[in-house]
Amino acid sequence: MRGMEKSSKLPKLPLVLTGNRLRDGDVVYFDGSDWTGDLSGAALAEDEATARRLETIAGDSAGVVVDAYLVTAAKGEDGRPAPAHYREAIRASGPTIDFGETA
């Protein structure tokens, strides 16, 4: 898993903190005070100090969010975070295929 070692090397900045909510497994992002389902509402850490603060929040949230991790994000034109990697893009917007009743 992508669990975090203390004071480990950070992924490339800027970063967001994300994980899956324990109760329902939903993808969530830390928005500065709480967890949100929307990547564009996530807090974007653009410097190491902010990133380290997010890191401690990951540890403190273990009862609510499973395996929270910091991940590199892109900064969209509007300044809001956007996925930087296809894995995160799929996490943020769901499977890329039709499924279930829509299939």
The verdict on 36 binding other proteins (CB under 8 A) reads: no
Residue 19 gets which letter from DSSP? E
Strands, sheet with 65-75, edge to edge from the N-terminal-most edge strand: 35-36, 27-30, 15-21, 65-75, 81-83
CB of 58 to other proteins, least distance (A): 12
Name the token pair of 48. 């190491």
**72 close to 15: Cβ distance less than 8 angstroms:** yes
Contacting other proteins (CB under 8 A), which of 25, 33, 78, 79?
25
**For residues 10 and 89, which CB has a smaller minimum distance to other proteins in the complex?**
89
One-letter amino acid at 91 equals: R
Q: Which residue has the tokens 């590199």?
A: 72
Contacting other proteins (CB under 8 A), which of 38, 48, 60, 90?
90
The verdict on 5 binding other proteins (CB under 8 A) reads: no
Residue ranges in contact with other proteins by CB under 8 A: 20, 22-27, 62-63, 66-67, 85-87, 90-91, 94-101, 103
